[in-house]
Amino acid sequence: MTEDQRYDVVVVGAGVNGALVAKCLTGRKLRVLLLEAGPAAAWTFDGYVKRLDDFYGVYAKGPEAPWPAAVGAPQPDTHDVRTGGGYFVQKGPHKYASSYTRYAGGSTLHWLGVALRMLPEDFSLHSRYGRGRDWPLGYADLEPYYRKAERELGVAADVADQAHLGVEFAPGYDYPMRRIPPSYSDQMLAATVDGMRLSLGSEEFALKIRSYPAARNGIPRGDFVPDGAVDERTDGQALGRDIGQRCQGNTACTPICPVQAKYNALKTLAKADHRYLHLVTQAVASRINVDPASGAVQSVEYKRYTEADSPRHTVHRATGRVYVLAAHAVENAKLMLASGLGNRSGELGRNLMDHPCLYAWGLMPSPAGAYRGPLSTAGLDDLRGGAFRARHAAFRFDIGNDGWHSTTGAPDSTVADAVYTRNLFGKQLRRHLGSNLSRQIRFSLAVEQLPSADNRVTVDPQYLDPLGNPRPVLSYRIEEYTLDGMAAAAEVARKVFERAGITDCTNPDEGTWFPSVEHGDEVFHYHGMGHFAGTHVMGDSPETSVTDPDQRSWEHRNLYVLGSGSFPTMGTSNPTLTMAALTLRTADRLVAELAS
Amino acid sequence: MSTGVVSTARLKALLQAGVELELSTIPPYLCALYSLRPMTNAEASLVIRSVVVEEMLHMVLAANVLNAIGGEPHVADGHAPRYPHELPTGVVLHLLPFSREAVDTFLKVENPAHPHRALEADHPLLAGRNHQRHRARCLDVDEGFHPASIGDFYHEVIRELEAAAADIGERTLFCGDPTRQVTRDYYYAAGGRSILVGDLDSARAALNEIVEQGEGDMGAMFDDDGDLAHYYRFQQLRDGRSYRRSDDAGAPTGPPVEVDYDAVYPMIANPRSEEYRVPGLQAAAAGANRTWSELLLQLDAAFNGRPAALLPAVHSMFKLRDQSLVLLANPMPDHPGRNAGPTFEWDPSARAELGMRL
């Protein structure tokens, strides 16, 4: 085993949380070792373009297509959900249908870029509605860090659109960039849907098609300078940085923005002070060693591989004053469980959540310009909050600009249907495709899920990866609260379609395969949103939580565990902005502690 | 007695010539860029792209200075460049596919210290009937002024600005409407930022930016950020070898730079749409010229009080690329071994149609 020199902080994971903490700490001249399990393929523009070329070349353009796993750092793959194979060991009863990416940059390499704040009521779900848990923090505690996170990630939005459902902004504040212009279909939908009234139980709601905040480059406000592509070449030949300073509407945000106009964590990492940062990629943290008497972490062991296609590796040990796990909700929990860390509350690995998501798709009454613009620019989020949350889950709709691509594999499947089923050719075929493709519209119905002790990550010595590290064993059930939310969401989608004159074509049997769950007479086909959360929940007491409100382990005081795994509940916002805000808050505390 | 009227008239003519000069360098770079076959010549593509966006910035900066003194920068109609095109340096710009010849020309364009040499007496441009329309306007602003280089041209503009400010006062000289300036809201990603011009200092800054970006300090290969100057990046393409930091200019010793001159669509030199005999090529060329003309009209609008016209201009750029690729990918039946290409000709009918929408 090779001993590394001692650092101020050893950080595990170079995704958004690891990058943010590395940038904050090195900015204060603290020496950081950053261990990343995966490769650093996108660290230079050349490297990124190679990933892009590979993506163009493959037929199946799933979220993982440009980001194949290294043997030493396997990752879940959405195709595996169907086959039951792959990295996750799924114990059921339902399939956990999301994936993540083990690369420097993490899953921000293929996220959509939605950067919503959580609602104030999301932080106190239990005291307000008797459901889930309360956070040990409130919206007001995080608000300043939301502002910081919006600047770090480069979020484009207008406060005028976002100040609703109790979300308040500091006086005079607006987002660093103006909102991304609404797509043509957003505008068409707004013309018919805005002002539509509907009720959930006894509550009345008025709907509005609303742009949502996106970590995607638009027109800057004030002195903000949008970050273009990452190009960390040191030979004076970096030319990629000029690219991607504005979104070009390539409609390929996931799995890979061709120009990096969308935020990825490497943009943050590139701005860390490299004099104090030691980034080691292809280095898989495999064990946390603890002093049995004090509980203090003494070192992190990691396995380093040089070839992405081979399990051959060497073992190293890194030491620091403080240790930070920022490896992903599942990987953090897995590493802590595999290292036998303290688990007084019994909550470690439990409360695994996602936003199980249904699709609704149809044809707009007239051409709506599908397949243009970012994958999604607006949504319906009026039903993210309300008293109905005492009874069933809240939900949020994304409105797609990519036709039926995600639901049926269009446009290819639309062409195949026209040729093989409808026997169209020549002018008729062109007319059919011209009319059909541009009218395609898709809603994603993302539904809230509550923390549950039975939904969990565990490790089992009989399931190991090629490096001998444990594979995550998942138990996952979608409970009544969420199923009732799915039913309500599907009903609202039907009403909105009707109001907008959309011909409902939702038919999971003809769509792309997704796992299903039964609810009474109904069968819901759902997919994951990649919103893993809840595996190392934060709280006010070591009896009921894994970390304190600063994401500091109750039982190992020089260990911080970052990310959406700390979330007690997740509401309906995608977790990235909130975990970035939490990380920036923790980084402030770390700097204060280490400076003293 | 003040000579203000006279001196700003010449200044405006000089700056308008500057706008056209920068515009004229763009199509040759675009031809080389679009002629690269997809997924090949990654390095050449990056270098050419980075230069062409700088030329666009230079055009915006020259337009901002002209607007600042109450002028009206124009790029459409008779201001659109024609190829071959003679620059003040004596360099003649051709529309060429990516090739050794094109790289040699770019090296001359990127080196404004390139000494002026009059065209040889037998140069075909001189024999043509319309030589006047194929040369940079800055050669003809007035009879007594013959800039020896592009840097020389802009230094003359700066001297003239200083003289005019001393003559009629800086306030009077910079009488332009500030809302006509193109700001970074609409101009971005060009290895530099748009500079708002409202006085002598900002005008100097804008024009010096043009000269420095083009010219660089020919002594220093790497700039303050540690980036290699464009001139040397073209040298790397020419020599097929990259520079190390310790290398002397002209003698790169780093790893090889891969350049594949065969992975290029073999476009004919200086194509003209009237040469296209096949209906398909005629239609494609007409479409590309229409888009080019729309783009110029959008730029013209952006320089004349509607900077937001740069937003749809981005779409026009993509459209122009796609239409150019259609031409580039198609052989010309009457020129064996050669393909068609974008002709960058002004389409007079574009104004009537787009004018309504702009």
Residue in B46, B188, B244 closest to A239 by CB? B46
Pairing assessment for the beta strands A2-12 and A32-35 based on DSSP bridges? parallel
CB of B321 less than 8 A from some CB of A? no
Q: Which of A45, A53, A243 sits opposite B189 (nearest CB)?
A: A243
CB contacts of A56 in chain B (<8 Å) are: 39
Q: How far from B320 is each of A242, A579, B39, B188, CA to CA, in Å? A: 20, 42, 19, 19
- CA B319 from chain centre, in angstroms, equals 19
Across the interface, of B39, B53, B233, the residue whose CB is closest to A242 is B53
Interatomic CA distance for residues A349 and A532, integer angstroms: 12
Residues of B in contact with A45 (CB under 8 A): 46
- Residue B172 touches chain A, beta carbons under 8 Å: no
Domain ranges for chain B, please list them.
Answer: 5-262
Q: Flag whether residue A223 sits within 8 Å of chain B, measured between CB atoms.
A: no
Query: Does B50 contact A242 at a Cβ distance shorter than 8 Å?
Result: yes
Which of B47, B185, B254 comes nearest A239 by C-beta?
B47
Per-residue confidence band for A195, with pLDDT thresholds at 50, 70 and 90:
very high
Whether residue B218 lies within 8 A of chain A, CB to CB, comes out as no
Distance in angstroms (rounded) separating the CA atoms of residues A97 and A157? 30
**Residue A197 confidence (pLDDT):** 97
Of B39, B184, B245, the CB nearest to A236: B245
Please report the pLDDT score of residue A511 as a whole number.
85
Q: Is A58 on the interface with B (CB under 8 A)?
A: no
- pLDDT of A419 over the 60 cut: yes
User: What does the pLDDT look like over A224-273, one tens digit per residue?
Assistant: 999 999 998 877 777 788 888 889 888 889 889 999 999 999 999 999 99
Phi then psi for B2, rounded to 5 degrees? Answer: -75, 140
**Interface test mutation site (partner B, options A237, A245, A247, A274, max chain B beta carbons within 10 A):** A237
d(Cα A67, Cα A106) in Å, to the nearest integer?
10
Element (H, E) at A415: helix A412-416
CB-defined contacts A:B, below 8 A = 49
Is the previous residue joined to A258 through a cis bond, with omega within 30 degrees of 0? no
Q: For position B191, what pLDDT does the model report?
A: 57
Burial (Cβ within 10 Å: 0-12, 13-18, ≥19) of residue A367: middle
CA distance B46 to chain A (A): 7
Write down the pLDDT at residue B1: 41
Q: Quickly tell me which residue has 């009896």 as its tokens.
A: A543
> pLDDT tens digit string along A305-332?
999 999 999 999 999 999 999 999 999 9
Take residue A313 and report the two structure tokens written for it: 């590796």
Neighbours of B86 (CB within 10 A): 21
Smallest CA–CA distance from A46 into chain B, residue: B42
Query: pLDDT at position B117, please?
Result: 67
Whether B185 sits inside 8 A of A243 (CB atoms) is: no
State how far residue B191 is from chain A, nearest Cα, in angstroms. 6
**Residue of chain A with shortest Cα separation from B38:** A53
Handedness of CA B49, B55, B58, B64 (dihedral sign): negative
Look up residue A349 and give its two tokens: 């690995």
Whole-angstrom distance, CA of residue A3 vs CA of residue A283: 14
Chain A nearest CA to B155, separation (Å): 28
Q: Which of B53, B186, B227 has its CB closest to that of A236?
A: B227
A376 C-beta neighbours (distance < 10 Å), count:
26
Show residues of chain A in contact with B46, CB under 8 Å: 45, 239-240
Chain B interface test: which of A46, A177, A239, A247 (most B C-beta within 10 Å):
A239
Task: Identify the pLDDT of residue A228.
Answer: 92
Nearest by Cα to A469 from A302, A325, A348, A351: A302
A-contacting residues of B 179-198, CB under 8 Å?
A: 184-186, 188-191
**What is the radius of gyration, based on Cα positions, of chain B?**
20
Find which of A52, A225, A242, A274 to mutate to test the B interface (most B CBs within 10 Å of its CB): A242
Picking from A325, A352, A351, A416, the residue whose alpha carbon sits closest to that of residue A12 is A325
Residues forming beta bridges with residue A485, ordered by sequence position: none
Please name the amino acid found at residue A219.
Answer: I
pLDDT tens column, A69-96: 999 999 999 889 888 889 999 998 999 9
Q: Which of B227, B244, B257 to mutate to test the interface with A (most CBs of A within 10 A)?
A: B227
Average pLDDT over residues A371-377: 93
**What is the per-residue pLDDT for B147?**
77
Spans of chain B, pLDDT less than 50:
1-2
CB A185 within 8 Å of CB A232: no
Beta bridge partners of A363: A440, A503
The residue with tokens 């027109």 is: A219
Interface test with B, best of A235, A248, A260 (most B CBs within 10 A): A235
- Return the CATH architecture of domain A7-402+439-594: 3-Layer(bba) Sandwich (3.50)
Q: What contacts A35, CB < 8 A, 6 or more positions away?
A: A10, A11, A12, A13, A14, A280, A283, A284, A285, A300, A302, A318
- Average pLDDT for A363-380: 95
Contact B227/A at CB under 8 A:
yes
How high is the mean pLDDT of chain A? 95
Q: Which residues of B touch A176 (CB under 8 A)?
A: none
Among A176, A241, A252, A164, residue whose Cα is nearest residue A214:
A176
B242 to chain A, any CB pair closer than 8 A? The answer is: yes
Contact A45 B46 (CB under 8 A): yes
Residue type, B287: G
Which among B184, B190, B254 has the least Cβ separation from residue A242?
Answer: B190
Contact B242 A237 (CB under 8 A): yes
State CA B273 to chain mean position distance: 21
- Taking the CA of residue A58 and the nearest CA in chain B, the distance in Å comes to 14
Helix (H/G/I), strand (E/B), else coil: A571: coil
Cβ count within 10 A of residue B356: 7
What is d(CA B69, CA B180) in angstroms, rounded to the nearest whole number?
Answer: 11
Strands A32-35, A277-280: pairing is parallel
3-state secondary structure chain B: CCCHHHHHHHHHHHHHHHHHHHHHHHHHHHHHHHHECCCCCHHHHHHHHHHHHHHHHHHHHHHHHHHHCCCCCCCCHHHCCCCCEECCCCCEECCCCCCHHHHHHHHHHCCCCCCCCCCCCCCHHHHCCCHHHHECHHHCCCCCCCCCCHHHHHHHHHHHHHHHHHHHCHHHHCCCCHHHCCCCCCCCCCCCCCCCCCCHHHHHHHHHHHHHHHHCCCCCCECCCCCECHHHHHHHHHHCECCCCCCCCCCCCCCECCCCCCCECCECCCCCHHHCCCHHHHHHHHHHHHHHHHHHHHHHHHCCCCHHHHHHHHHHHHHHHHHHHHHHCCECCCCCCCECCCCCCCCCHHHHHHHHHC
- Contact (CB<8Å) B188/A245: yes
Nearest beta carbon to residue B185 from set A49, A219, A234: A219
Q: Is A250 on the interface with B (CB under 8 A)?
A: no
Q: Which residue of B has its CA nearest to A242?
A: B189
Q: Which residue of A has its CA nearest to B257?
A: A237
C-alpha pair distances (Å), B233 with each of B45, B106, B120, B187: 11, 11, 29, 24
**Chain B residues near residue A220 by CB distance under 8 angstroms:** 184-185
The interface predicted TM-score of the complex, written ipTM, equals: 0.84
Segment A498-502 shows an average pLDDT of 97
* Chain A residues touching B39 at Cβ < 8 A: 53, 56
pLDDT at B352: 82
By C-alpha distance, the chain B residue nearest A373 is B315
Check B188 against A246: CB less than 8 A apart: yes
Which tokens go with A553?
């382990």
pLDDT at residue B136 in the model = 75
Contacts of A53 in chain B (CB under 8 A): 39
Tokens of A363: 């044809």
Give the residue from chain A lying closest to B46, CA to CA.
A239
Q: Which residues of A touch B185 (CB under 8 A)?
A: 219-220
Is the CB of residue A175 less than 8 Å from the CB of residue A213?
yes
